[in-house]
Structure 1
Amino acid sequence: MNAHFAERSGVRTFIHGGPSLTPRLLDLEVPGGEEIRIVLPLGSNVGASLLKVLEGRRFASAVGRIVCGNAAYLSYHRMISTNKPERPYDYGQPVILDGHVTFISGAITVGRDAQGAPLLHGHAGFLDSDGEQHGGHLVLDTLIVGNEPMTISLCLFNHVAYQVQPDAETHFNLLHPVFQEVS
């Protein structure tokens, strides 16, 4: 099947070309967890700083928010149309913002790569120094804290890890929830 848009109950819905993975959403309550608040100082590299904070902590994965702060430099990706029927959308070239960038919202997921090392994934909305709105897939390794500290709230948990796996429906590698025993 080719990817296409369809109308469902008055809502324009994108139908991916591959077989649907169900259930797509997983709701699981896990015992315990650890909430941490991280304040990164001016000039910090957010990706490197987060990995340093997480070093030595025992957790399977984490989710969190950029609570407040701004950036002096960042890059992000937006989805673009392609002419490929099997993958009609893909990440475009990075958009680079250099200068004062104010965060409106931001979500961070800490998953695991194939070797079990933490893998950072982020999406955010922000304003550039001219007040223009931007948003998309945030490259946390290039994000540099601006002229005020950045506060990030993370909830670390066990029993479920987000692991990168190929997704037949979207033709992307996605963070899929995988049940795990705590070691």
Structure 2
Amino acid sequence: MTPHFEQRAGVRVFIHGGEPQQPRLLDCEVPASEELRVVLPLACNVAEGLLKVLEGRRYGSAVGRILCGGAAHLSYHRMVTTQDQQRPYDYGQAVVLDGYITFVSGALTVGRDAAGAPLLHCHAGFLDRDGQQHGGHLVLDRLIVGSEPLVLRLCLFDQVAYQVQPDAETHFNLLHPVFQEAS
């Protein structure tokens, strides 16, 4: 199938090139979780700070939100069109911002790589020092907390791990929930 847009009930919907994988919403229940409020201090590298907070904790994966805060430096990617018929959109070149950056919102996922090490993923919206809106896939190891702490909320859970797997519909590698034995 050739990827394309369709109108459905007045909403523009992108149809990927691969075989539809329904349902797209996956639901997993776990018996227990741990909620954390994380405050990362000024000048902290966010990836390093998050990994330090998670070190030694028992969890399979985690999800969370950026609640508030700012950055002094960050790098992010947005989707761009490509010439590839099967994958007409991909991440573009990194956009780098410096200066006073304020977060509006952000969604974090902590998955696991093939060796079981934590894998950080984040999409966020933010304002630059001139009030211009930005948003996309944040590169967390290039995100430096700015003049106010970065406040996050994380929900850690066991027995399910988000792992990168190929996705037949989108032709992207996506984080999929994978059930694991209780540790």
| TM-score normalized by the length of structure 2 | 0.97
1:125-163 deviation digits (Å, cap 9, x = unpaired): 000000000000011110000011111110000121110
The equivalent residue for 2:60 is 60
The equivalent residue for 2:46 is 46
Q: What displacement does 1:30 show?
A: 1.4
Inter-partner Cα distance in structure 2 for 1:178 and 1:28? 9
The equivalent residue for 1:173 is 173
Matched letter for residue 149 of structure 1: P
1:44-67 deviation digits (Å, cap 9, x = unpaired): 000011011111111011000111
Q: Describe how 1:26-175 pairs up with structure 2 within 5 A.
A: 26-175=26-175
The equivalent residue for 2:19 is 19
Query: Where in structure 1 are there 5+ consecutive unaligned residues?
Result: none
Query: Where in structure 2 are there 5+ consecutive unaligned residues?
Result: none
Inter-partner Cα distance in structure 1 for 2:113 and 2:102? 30
Secondary structure at 1:48 match in 2:
helix
Inter-partner Cα distance in structure 2 for 1:61 and 1:40? 20
Q: Which moved more, 1:19-28 or 1:145-154?
A: 19-28
Inter-partner Cα distance in structure 1 for 2:124 and 2:149? 17
Secondary structure at 1:21 match in 2:
coil
Inter-partner Cα distance in structure 2 for 1:181 and 1:22? 26
Matched letter for residue 57 of structure 1: R
Inter-partner Cα distance in structure 2 for 1:176 and 1:28? 11
Residue identity (%): 73
Q: Which runs of 4+ in 1 moved over 2 A?
A: none
**Cα RMSD (Å):** 0.8
Inter-partner Cα distance in structure 2 for 1:22 and 1:103? 33
Number of residues of Structure 1 aligned to a counterpart in Structure 2: 183
| TM-score normalized by the length of structure 1 | 0.97
Q: What displacement does 1:68 show?
A: 1.0
Inter-partner Cα distance in structure 1 for 2:62 and 2:139? 17
